[in-house]
Structure 1
Amino acid sequence: MRLAAAFRYDVLLQFRHGFYYAYSLVAVAYIVLMQLLPDSYLEKTNILLTFSDPSMLGFFFIGGLVLLEKGQGIHDSLFVTPYTPEEYIWSKTLSLSVLSVATSWIIHASAFGFGTNPVWLLIGVAMTSVFFTFIGLGVAVRVKTLNGFFFLSTFATLLFMLPVLETAGIWSSPLLAVLPTYGSLLLIGAPFSAPSPAQLLYSAVLLLAWIGLAYGWTRKSVYRFLVYKIGEGAEGR
Protein backbone atom coordinates (compact mmCIF):
# COMPACT_ATOMS: atom_id res chain seq x y z
CA MET A 1 0.00 0.00 0.00
CA ARG A 2 2.63 2.52 -1.09
CA LEU A 3 -0.02 5.03 -2.16
CA ALA A 4 -1.64 5.04 1.29
CA ALA A 5 1.76 5.50 2.94
CA ALA A 6 2.64 8.29 0.50
CA PHE A 7 -0.72 9.95 1.16
CA ARG A 8 -0.04 9.96 4.92
CA TYR A 9 3.44 11.35 4.33
CA ASP A 10 2.12 14.16 2.13
CA VAL A 11 -0.52 15.10 4.70
CA LEU A 12 2.16 15.30 7.39
CA LEU A 13 4.43 17.28 5.07
CA GLN A 14 1.68 19.77 4.31
CA PHE A 15 0.92 20.13 7.99
CA ARG A 16 4.59 20.62 8.82
CA HIS A 17 4.98 23.36 6.22
CA GLY A 18 1.93 25.26 7.41
CA PHE A 19 -0.53 24.41 4.65
CA TYR A 20 -3.24 23.55 7.15
CA TYR A 21 -2.70 26.82 8.96
CA ALA A 22 -2.94 28.71 5.68
CA TYR A 23 -6.16 26.92 4.74
CA SER A 24 -7.55 27.63 8.19
CA LEU A 25 -6.82 31.35 7.87
CA VAL A 26 -8.41 31.45 4.43
CA ALA A 27 -11.47 29.59 5.71
CA VAL A 28 -11.86 31.95 8.67
CA ALA A 29 -11.56 34.98 6.38
CA TYR A 30 -14.21 33.54 4.06
CA ILE A 31 -16.53 32.71 6.95
CA VAL A 32 -16.24 36.23 8.37
CA LEU A 33 -16.91 37.70 4.94
CA MET A 34 -19.99 35.51 4.46
CA GLN A 35 -21.37 36.61 7.82
CA LEU A 36 -21.01 40.27 6.87
CA LEU A 37 -22.71 40.04 3.50
CA PRO A 38 -26.43 40.70 2.90
CA ASP A 39 -28.47 37.57 2.23
CA SER A 40 -29.00 38.56 -1.40
CA TYR A 41 -25.26 38.20 -2.09
CA LEU A 42 -24.62 35.00 -0.15
CA GLU A 43 -25.31 32.41 -2.82
CA LYS A 44 -23.24 33.90 -5.63
CA THR A 45 -20.42 34.81 -3.24
CA ASN A 46 -20.38 31.30 -1.81
CA ILE A 47 -20.10 29.83 -5.30
CA LEU A 48 -17.20 32.08 -6.29
CA LEU A 49 -15.33 31.71 -3.00
CA THR A 50 -15.78 27.95 -2.94
CA PHE A 51 -14.57 27.73 -6.52
CA SER A 52 -11.50 29.85 -5.81
CA ASP A 53 -10.53 27.63 -2.87
CA PRO A 54 -10.03 24.29 -4.64
CA SER A 55 -8.75 25.72 -7.88
CA MET A 56 -6.31 28.39 -6.77
CA LEU A 57 -5.05 27.21 -3.39
CA GLY A 58 -4.50 23.61 -4.45
CA PHE A 59 -2.89 24.80 -7.66
CA PHE A 60 -0.37 27.07 -5.98
CA PHE A 61 0.30 24.82 -3.01
CA ILE A 62 1.31 21.93 -5.24
CA GLY A 63 3.73 24.29 -6.97
CA GLY A 64 5.34 25.16 -3.65
CA LEU A 65 5.60 21.50 -2.63
CA VAL A 66 7.23 20.36 -5.84
CA LEU A 67 9.71 23.23 -5.89
CA LEU A 68 10.57 22.56 -2.25
CA GLU A 69 11.31 18.93 -3.07
CA LYS A 70 13.35 20.00 -6.08
CA GLY A 71 15.47 22.27 -3.91
CA GLN A 72 16.08 19.47 -1.42
CA GLY A 73 17.01 16.99 -4.16
CA ILE A 74 14.33 14.53 -3.03
CA HIS A 75 13.38 13.34 -6.49
CA ASP A 76 16.82 11.89 -7.25
CA SER A 77 16.42 9.30 -4.52
CA LEU A 78 12.63 9.00 -4.64
CA PHE A 79 12.23 7.66 -8.14
CA VAL A 80 14.95 5.01 -7.88
CA THR A 81 12.74 3.24 -5.31
CA PRO A 82 9.66 1.11 -6.13
CA TYR A 83 7.60 4.27 -5.57
CA THR A 84 6.18 5.15 -8.99
CA PRO A 85 5.62 8.56 -10.58
CA GLU A 86 1.94 7.69 -10.84
CA GLU A 87 1.75 7.16 -7.08
CA TYR A 88 3.61 10.44 -6.59
CA ILE A 89 1.06 12.31 -8.72
CA TRP A 90 -1.99 10.79 -7.06
CA SER A 91 -0.65 11.11 -3.52
CA LYS A 92 0.05 14.81 -3.93
CA THR A 93 -3.28 15.42 -5.67
CA LEU A 94 -5.54 13.47 -3.32
CA SER A 95 -3.96 14.86 -0.15
CA LEU A 96 -4.58 18.44 -1.28
CA SER A 97 -8.04 17.61 -2.60
CA VAL A 98 -9.19 16.15 0.72
CA LEU A 99 -8.10 19.31 2.49
CA SER A 100 -9.85 21.46 -0.09
CA VAL A 101 -13.12 19.52 0.13
CA ALA A 102 -13.17 19.73 3.93
CA THR A 103 -12.51 23.47 3.91
CA SER A 104 -15.15 24.11 1.26
CA TRP A 105 -17.78 22.20 3.21
CA ILE A 106 -17.05 24.18 6.38
CA ILE A 107 -17.29 27.48 4.50
CA HIS A 108 -20.59 26.45 2.92
CA ALA A 109 -22.04 25.18 6.19
CA SER A 110 -21.07 28.35 8.05
CA ALA A 111 -23.41 30.35 5.83
CA PHE A 112 -26.19 27.88 5.03
CA GLY A 113 -26.08 25.40 7.92
CA PHE A 114 -25.11 21.76 8.18
CA GLY A 115 -28.61 20.66 7.25
CA THR A 116 -28.23 21.57 3.57
CA ASN A 117 -27.35 18.93 0.97
CA PRO A 118 -23.89 19.77 -0.36
CA VAL A 119 -23.27 16.50 -2.23
CA TRP A 120 -22.98 17.95 -5.72
CA LEU A 121 -21.09 20.95 -4.38
CA LEU A 122 -18.48 18.68 -2.78
CA ILE A 123 -18.26 16.52 -5.90
CA GLY A 124 -17.60 19.68 -7.89
CA VAL A 125 -14.96 20.83 -5.41
CA ALA A 126 -13.21 17.45 -5.43
CA MET A 127 -13.10 17.17 -9.21
CA THR A 128 -12.03 20.79 -9.64
CA SER A 129 -9.28 20.34 -7.09
CA VAL A 130 -8.00 17.22 -8.83
CA PHE A 131 -7.98 18.94 -12.21
CA PHE A 132 -6.15 22.08 -11.08
CA THR A 133 -3.70 20.19 -8.90
CA PHE A 134 -2.75 18.10 -11.92
CA ILE A 135 -2.21 21.29 -13.92
CA GLY A 136 -0.21 22.89 -11.10
CA LEU A 137 1.98 19.81 -10.79
CA GLY A 138 2.57 19.70 -14.52
CA VAL A 139 3.65 23.33 -14.48
CA ALA A 140 5.79 23.03 -11.35
CA VAL A 141 8.02 20.23 -12.70
CA ARG A 142 8.92 22.45 -15.66
CA VAL A 143 10.27 25.42 -13.69
CA LYS A 144 13.03 26.09 -11.18
CA THR A 145 11.70 29.03 -9.17
CA LEU A 146 8.44 30.30 -7.70
CA ASN A 147 8.63 33.34 -9.97
CA GLY A 148 8.83 31.03 -12.96
CA PHE A 149 5.90 29.02 -11.63
CA PHE A 150 3.72 32.11 -11.11
CA PHE A 151 4.57 33.41 -14.56
CA LEU A 152 3.83 30.16 -16.38
CA SER A 153 0.77 29.36 -14.27
CA THR A 154 -0.88 32.63 -15.34
CA PHE A 155 -1.01 31.38 -18.91
CA ALA A 156 -1.94 27.85 -17.84
CA THR A 157 -5.06 28.98 -15.96
CA LEU A 158 -6.26 32.14 -17.70
CA LEU A 159 -8.50 30.34 -20.21
CA PHE A 160 -10.05 28.14 -17.51
CA MET A 161 -11.12 31.19 -15.51
CA LEU A 162 -13.44 32.53 -18.21
CA PRO A 163 -16.62 30.78 -16.93
CA VAL A 164 -16.30 32.85 -13.76
CA LEU A 165 -17.32 35.88 -15.86
CA GLU A 166 -20.61 34.17 -16.68
CA THR A 167 -21.28 33.29 -13.04
CA ALA A 168 -20.55 36.89 -12.07
CA GLY A 169 -22.92 38.14 -14.75
CA ILE A 170 -20.21 39.96 -16.70
CA TRP A 171 -19.98 38.00 -19.95
CA SER A 172 -21.40 34.82 -21.42
CA SER A 173 -20.80 32.61 -24.45
CA PRO A 174 -21.92 29.09 -25.48
CA LEU A 175 -18.25 28.23 -25.99
CA LEU A 176 -17.70 28.39 -22.22
CA ALA A 177 -19.64 25.15 -21.87
CA VAL A 178 -16.67 23.13 -23.16
CA LEU A 179 -14.33 24.32 -20.40
CA PRO A 180 -13.96 22.20 -17.24
CA THR A 181 -14.65 25.13 -14.96
CA TYR A 182 -18.08 25.53 -16.52
CA GLY A 183 -18.89 22.16 -15.00
CA SER A 184 -17.15 23.11 -11.77
CA LEU A 185 -19.27 26.21 -11.25
CA LEU A 186 -22.50 24.42 -12.16
CA LEU A 187 -21.84 21.62 -9.65
CA ILE A 188 -20.69 24.01 -6.92
CA GLY A 189 -23.81 26.10 -7.49
CA ALA A 190 -26.13 23.07 -7.56
CA PRO A 191 -27.47 23.59 -3.99
CA PHE A 192 -28.81 26.98 -5.07
CA SER A 193 -29.89 26.60 -8.71
CA ALA A 194 -31.30 23.04 -8.82
CA PRO A 195 -29.86 22.07 -12.22
CA SER A 196 -31.46 19.22 -14.16
CA PRO A 197 -30.02 15.67 -14.00
CA ALA A 198 -28.79 16.13 -17.57
CA GLN A 199 -26.86 19.27 -16.59
CA LEU A 200 -25.32 17.55 -13.58
CA LEU A 201 -24.33 14.54 -15.67
CA TYR A 202 -22.86 16.75 -18.38
CA SER A 203 -20.83 18.70 -15.84
CA ALA A 204 -19.47 15.56 -14.19
CA VAL A 205 -18.55 13.93 -17.52
CA LEU A 206 -16.99 17.18 -18.75
CA LEU A 207 -14.79 17.41 -15.68
CA LEU A 208 -13.84 13.72 -15.88
CA ALA A 209 -12.78 14.16 -19.50
CA TRP A 210 -10.63 17.19 -18.67
CA ILE A 211 -9.18 15.40 -15.63
CA GLY A 212 -8.15 12.55 -17.91
CA LEU A 213 -6.44 14.97 -20.29
CA ALA A 214 -4.76 16.83 -17.43
CA TYR A 215 -3.51 13.58 -15.88
CA GLY A 216 -2.03 12.42 -19.16
CA TRP A 217 -0.21 15.73 -19.63
CA THR A 218 0.98 15.82 -16.01
CA ARG A 219 2.20 12.22 -16.10
CA LYS A 220 4.17 12.94 -19.27
CA SER A 221 5.60 16.09 -17.68
CA VAL A 222 6.68 14.27 -14.49
CA TYR A 223 8.49 11.61 -16.50
CA ARG A 224 10.15 14.13 -18.80
CA PHE A 225 11.20 16.76 -16.26
CA LEU A 226 11.72 14.69 -13.10
CA VAL A 227 12.19 10.97 -13.73
CA TYR A 228 14.33 11.21 -16.85
CA LYS A 229 16.45 13.94 -15.20
CA ILE A 230 17.58 11.69 -12.36
CA GLY A 231 21.36 11.64 -12.10
CA GLU A 232 21.90 14.86 -14.00
CA GLY A 233 22.17 16.94 -10.80
CA ALA A 234 20.72 20.35 -10.11
CA GLU A 235 22.13 21.81 -13.33
CA GLY A 236 20.42 19.13 -15.40
CA ARG A 237 17.06 20.14 -14.18
Structure 2
Amino acid sequence: MMKNLLKTNLIVGFRSFVYPIYVLIGLVYGLMLMAFPEKYLPTMVPLFLLFEPGLVGFMFVGTEIFAEKKDGAISALAVTPMEWRSYILAKTAIMSVLSVIGAVLIMALGTRSLSGLPYVTVGVFLCSVVYTLLGIGISAKYRDLDDYFIPIMAVLVVSLLPFAHYHGYLTNSLWKVLYIVPSYPALYFFKAPFVDVSRDTLALSAAVLLLWSGIAYHIAKIRFYRYAVEGVR
Protein backbone atom coordinates (compact mmCIF):
# COMPACT_ATOMS: atom_id res chain seq x y z
CA MET A 1 0.00 0.00 0.00
CA MET A 2 2.79 2.45 0.90
CA LYS A 3 4.53 1.77 -2.43
CA ASN A 4 1.32 2.51 -4.36
CA LEU A 5 0.71 5.69 -2.40
CA LEU A 6 4.25 6.91 -3.02
CA LYS A 7 3.90 6.19 -6.74
CA THR A 8 0.49 7.88 -6.96
CA ASN A 9 1.67 10.94 -5.03
CA LEU A 10 4.69 11.29 -7.28
CA ILE A 11 2.62 11.02 -10.46
CA VAL A 12 0.03 13.53 -9.25
CA GLY A 13 2.66 15.85 -7.80
CA PHE A 14 4.63 16.01 -11.04
CA ARG A 15 1.56 16.26 -13.27
CA SER A 16 0.28 19.19 -11.21
CA PHE A 17 3.79 20.73 -11.23
CA VAL A 18 3.76 21.00 -7.44
CA TYR A 19 6.92 18.92 -6.99
CA PRO A 20 8.87 20.43 -9.91
CA ILE A 21 8.06 23.92 -8.62
CA TYR A 22 9.22 22.91 -5.14
CA VAL A 23 12.60 21.77 -6.52
CA LEU A 24 12.75 24.84 -8.76
CA ILE A 25 12.48 27.06 -5.68
CA GLY A 26 15.63 25.40 -4.33
CA LEU A 27 17.34 26.13 -7.65
CA VAL A 28 16.23 29.76 -7.53
CA TYR A 29 17.46 30.14 -3.95
CA GLY A 30 20.84 28.74 -4.98
CA LEU A 31 21.09 31.18 -7.88
CA MET A 32 20.07 34.08 -5.62
CA LEU A 33 22.83 33.19 -3.16
CA MET A 34 25.40 33.44 -5.93
CA ALA A 35 24.81 37.19 -5.91
CA PHE A 36 25.90 37.52 -2.26
CA PRO A 37 29.55 38.16 -1.32
CA GLU A 38 31.14 35.14 0.35
CA LYS A 39 31.25 36.81 3.77
CA TYR A 40 27.44 36.86 3.89
CA LEU A 41 26.96 33.18 3.06
CA PRO A 42 27.25 31.88 6.67
CA THR A 43 24.19 33.99 7.47
CA MET A 44 22.16 33.78 4.28
CA VAL A 45 22.58 30.08 3.43
CA PRO A 46 21.04 28.84 6.72
CA LEU A 47 18.17 31.29 6.24
CA PHE A 48 17.44 29.98 2.73
CA LEU A 49 17.77 26.39 3.94
CA LEU A 50 15.16 27.11 6.58
CA PHE A 51 12.78 28.50 3.98
CA GLU A 52 13.20 25.56 1.59
CA PRO A 53 12.42 22.53 3.77
CA GLY A 54 10.30 24.17 6.41
CA LEU A 55 8.26 27.13 5.35
CA VAL A 56 7.85 26.39 1.65
CA GLY A 57 7.07 22.75 2.41
CA PHE A 58 4.50 23.80 5.01
CA MET A 59 2.68 25.80 2.35
CA PHE A 60 3.01 23.27 -0.49
CA VAL A 61 1.69 20.29 1.45
CA GLY A 62 -1.33 22.37 2.42
CA THR A 63 -1.90 23.18 -1.25
CA GLU A 64 -1.84 19.45 -2.02
CA ILE A 65 -4.40 18.71 0.69
CA PHE A 66 -6.73 21.41 -0.65
CA ALA A 67 -6.49 20.05 -4.21
CA GLU A 68 -7.20 16.49 -3.07
CA LYS A 69 -10.21 17.64 -1.08
CA LYS A 70 -11.68 19.49 -4.04
CA ASP A 71 -11.18 16.74 -6.61
CA GLY A 72 -12.61 14.12 -4.25
CA ALA A 73 -9.41 12.09 -3.92
CA ILE A 74 -9.58 11.98 -0.13
CA SER A 75 -13.26 11.01 -0.19
CA ALA A 76 -12.48 8.22 -2.66
CA LEU A 77 -9.64 6.91 -0.53
CA ALA A 78 -11.89 6.94 2.54
CA VAL A 79 -13.87 3.98 1.19
CA THR A 80 -10.75 1.85 0.66
CA PRO A 81 -9.08 -0.30 3.35
CA MET A 82 -6.08 2.02 3.32
CA GLU A 83 -4.54 3.15 6.60
CA TRP A 84 -4.37 6.94 6.76
CA ARG A 85 -1.05 6.58 8.52
CA SER A 86 0.38 5.38 5.20
CA TYR A 87 -1.11 8.37 3.38
CA ILE A 88 0.46 10.82 5.84
CA LEU A 89 3.84 9.10 5.85
CA ALA A 90 3.93 8.88 2.05
CA LYS A 91 3.44 12.63 1.67
CA THR A 92 5.99 13.32 4.40
CA ALA A 93 8.59 11.05 2.81
CA ILE A 94 8.23 12.65 -0.63
CA MET A 95 8.34 16.22 0.66
CA SER A 96 11.39 15.43 2.78
CA VAL A 97 13.30 13.91 -0.13
CA LEU A 98 12.41 16.89 -2.33
CA SER A 99 13.65 19.19 0.44
CA VAL A 100 17.00 17.41 0.49
CA ILE A 101 17.27 17.81 -3.30
CA GLY A 102 16.50 21.51 -2.92
CA ALA A 103 19.11 21.81 -0.15
CA VAL A 104 21.77 20.19 -2.34
CA LEU A 105 21.00 22.74 -5.07
CA ILE A 106 21.23 25.58 -2.57
CA MET A 107 24.58 24.38 -1.26
CA ALA A 108 26.06 23.49 -4.65
CA LEU A 109 25.07 26.76 -6.33
CA GLY A 110 25.02 29.13 -3.38
CA THR A 111 28.36 28.15 -1.84
CA ARG A 112 29.97 26.48 -4.89
CA SER A 113 30.84 23.69 -2.50
CA LEU A 114 29.28 20.64 -0.87
CA SER A 115 31.37 20.96 2.27
CA GLY A 116 29.25 20.18 5.31
CA LEU A 117 26.51 18.66 3.18
CA PRO A 118 25.96 15.68 5.54
CA TYR A 119 25.03 18.10 8.35
CA VAL A 120 22.71 20.03 6.06
CA THR A 121 21.09 16.84 4.74
CA VAL A 122 20.25 15.56 8.23
CA GLY A 123 18.96 18.94 9.36
CA VAL A 124 16.88 19.53 6.23
CA PHE A 125 15.36 16.06 6.28
CA LEU A 126 14.34 16.24 9.96
CA CYS A 127 13.12 19.83 9.64
CA SER A 128 11.07 18.91 6.58
CA VAL A 129 9.48 15.97 8.38
CA VAL A 130 8.35 18.23 11.22
CA TYR A 131 6.98 21.04 9.06
CA THR A 132 5.33 18.73 6.54
CA LEU A 133 3.49 16.88 9.30
CA LEU A 134 2.47 20.17 10.90
CA GLY A 135 1.32 21.38 7.48
CA ILE A 136 -0.83 18.27 7.01
CA GLY A 137 -2.35 18.62 10.46
CA ILE A 138 -3.03 22.34 10.33
CA SER A 139 -4.17 22.59 6.70
CA ALA A 140 -6.65 19.72 7.13
CA LYS A 141 -9.21 22.10 8.63
CA TYR A 142 -9.13 24.61 5.75
CA ARG A 143 -10.59 24.54 2.25
CA ASP A 144 -8.23 26.80 0.28
CA LEU A 145 -5.05 28.85 0.45
CA ASP A 146 -6.90 32.03 1.41
CA ASP A 147 -8.07 30.44 4.66
CA TYR A 148 -4.64 28.90 5.20
CA PHE A 149 -2.84 32.25 4.78
CA ILE A 150 -2.99 33.28 8.45
CA PRO A 151 -1.52 29.96 9.73
CA ILE A 152 1.23 30.26 7.11
CA MET A 153 2.14 33.76 8.27
CA ALA A 154 2.02 32.70 11.92
CA VAL A 155 4.36 29.76 11.28
CA LEU A 156 6.63 32.02 9.20
CA VAL A 157 7.02 34.59 11.96
CA VAL A 158 7.50 32.08 14.78
CA SER A 159 9.98 30.02 12.77
CA LEU A 160 12.13 33.03 11.89
CA LEU A 161 12.37 34.31 15.46
CA PRO A 162 15.01 31.70 16.42
CA PHE A 163 17.14 32.97 13.53
CA ALA A 164 16.97 36.48 15.00
CA HIS A 165 17.74 35.17 18.49
CA TYR A 166 20.71 33.12 17.27
CA HIS A 167 22.27 36.23 15.73
CA GLY A 168 21.81 38.32 18.86
CA TYR A 169 18.86 40.49 17.91
CA LEU A 170 16.60 39.21 20.70
CA THR A 171 18.65 39.45 23.87
CA ASN A 172 16.11 39.31 26.68
CA SER A 173 16.29 36.07 28.66
CA LEU A 174 12.58 35.52 27.97
CA TRP A 175 13.46 34.77 24.35
CA LYS A 176 15.12 31.53 25.43
CA VAL A 177 11.66 30.03 25.05
CA LEU A 178 12.46 30.01 21.32
CA TYR A 179 14.68 26.98 21.87
CA ILE A 180 11.53 24.86 21.72
CA VAL A 181 10.65 26.08 18.20
CA PRO A 182 11.67 23.33 15.72
CA SER A 183 13.52 25.75 13.46
CA TYR A 184 16.05 26.43 16.24
CA PRO A 185 17.63 22.94 16.45
CA ALA A 186 17.55 22.76 12.65
CA LEU A 187 19.53 26.00 12.52
CA TYR A 188 22.52 24.34 14.21
CA PHE A 189 22.71 21.82 11.37
CA PHE A 190 22.47 24.60 8.79
CA LYS A 191 25.26 26.58 10.50
CA ALA A 192 27.56 23.56 10.88
CA PRO A 193 29.22 23.94 7.43
CA PHE A 194 30.33 27.46 8.38
CA VAL A 195 31.06 27.43 12.12
CA ASP A 196 32.14 24.83 14.65
CA VAL A 197 29.12 23.16 16.22
CA SER A 198 29.83 20.48 18.80
CA ARG A 199 28.64 16.93 18.28
CA ASP A 200 26.73 17.12 21.55
CA THR A 201 24.81 20.14 20.27
CA LEU A 202 24.01 18.39 17.00
CA ALA A 203 22.96 15.20 18.79
CA LEU A 204 20.67 17.18 21.10
CA SER A 205 19.27 19.10 18.12
CA ALA A 206 18.53 15.82 16.31
CA ALA A 207 16.80 14.46 19.42
CA VAL A 208 14.63 17.59 19.68
CA LEU A 209 13.65 17.37 16.01
CA LEU A 210 12.79 13.68 16.41
CA LEU A 211 10.64 14.56 19.41
CA TRP A 212 8.95 17.27 17.37
CA SER A 213 8.40 14.73 14.57
CA GLY A 214 6.50 12.50 16.98
CA ILE A 215 4.39 15.42 18.23
CA ALA A 216 3.72 16.67 14.70
CA TYR A 217 2.73 13.18 13.51
CA HIS A 218 0.26 12.87 16.38
CA ILE A 219 -1.24 16.25 15.45
CA ALA A 220 -1.40 15.33 11.75
CA LYS A 221 -3.03 11.95 12.40
CA ILE A 222 -5.77 13.35 14.66
CA ARG A 223 -6.58 16.55 12.75
CA PHE A 224 -6.36 15.06 9.26
CA TYR A 225 -8.78 12.27 10.05
CA ARG A 226 -11.14 14.59 11.90
CA TYR A 227 -11.26 17.45 9.40
CA ALA A 228 -10.23 16.01 6.02
CA VAL A 229 -11.65 12.49 6.23
CA GLU A 230 -14.69 12.89 8.48
CA GLY A 231 -15.31 16.45 7.30
CA VAL A 232 -15.88 17.97 10.73
CA ARG A 233 -15.95 21.76 10.57
TM-score (normalised: structure 1): 0.90
- Cα 1:198–1:84 shift into 2, 3 Å: same
Mapped to 2, the partners of 1:113 and 1:17 lie a distance apart of 31
Mapped to 1, the partners of 2:188 and 2:224 lie a distance apart of 31
2:12 counterpart of 1:10: no
Mapped to 1, the partners of 2:23 and 2:130 lie a distance apart of 22
Deviation string 1:131-167 (CA, Å, 9 cap, x unpaired) is: 1111111111101121111123333554333202124
Deviation at 1:77, TM superposition (A): 1.5
Which segment is superposed worse, 123-132 or 11-20? 11-20
Matches within 5 A, 1:158-173: 158-172=157-171, 173=175
Matches within 5 A, 1:56-95: 56-95=55-94
Mapped to 1, the partners of 2:23 and 2:127 lie a distance apart of 20
Deviation at 1:85, TM superposition (A): 0.8
Structure 1 residue identity aligned to 2:147: G
Deviation at 1:181, TM superposition (A): 1.2
2:119 counterpart of 1:120: yes
Structure 2 residue identity aligned to 1:223: Y
Root mean square deviation, CA, Å: 1.8
SS at match of 2:230: helix
Deviation at 1:119, TM superposition (A): 0.9
Mapped to 1, the partners of 2:218 and 2:205 lie a distance apart of 20
- Cα 1:207–1:36 shift into 2, 3 Å: same
Mapped to 2, the partners of 1:223 and 1:115 lie a distance apart of 40
SS at match of 1:162: helix
State how many pairs are aligned. Answer: 230
* Structure 1: gaps of 5 or more residues: 230-235
Which segment is superposed worse, 157-166 or 102-111? 157-166
Deviation at 1:210, TM superposition (A): 1.1
Q: Which residue of 2 aligns with 1:184?
A: 186
Mapped to 1, the partners of 2:230 and 2:26 lie a distance apart of 39
* Structure 2: gaps of 5 or more residues: none
1:206 to 205, 208, 216: 208
Deviation string 1:44-78 (CA, Å, 9 cap, x unpaired) is: 11110011101111111111110001111111220
Deviation at 1:40, TM superposition (A): 0.6
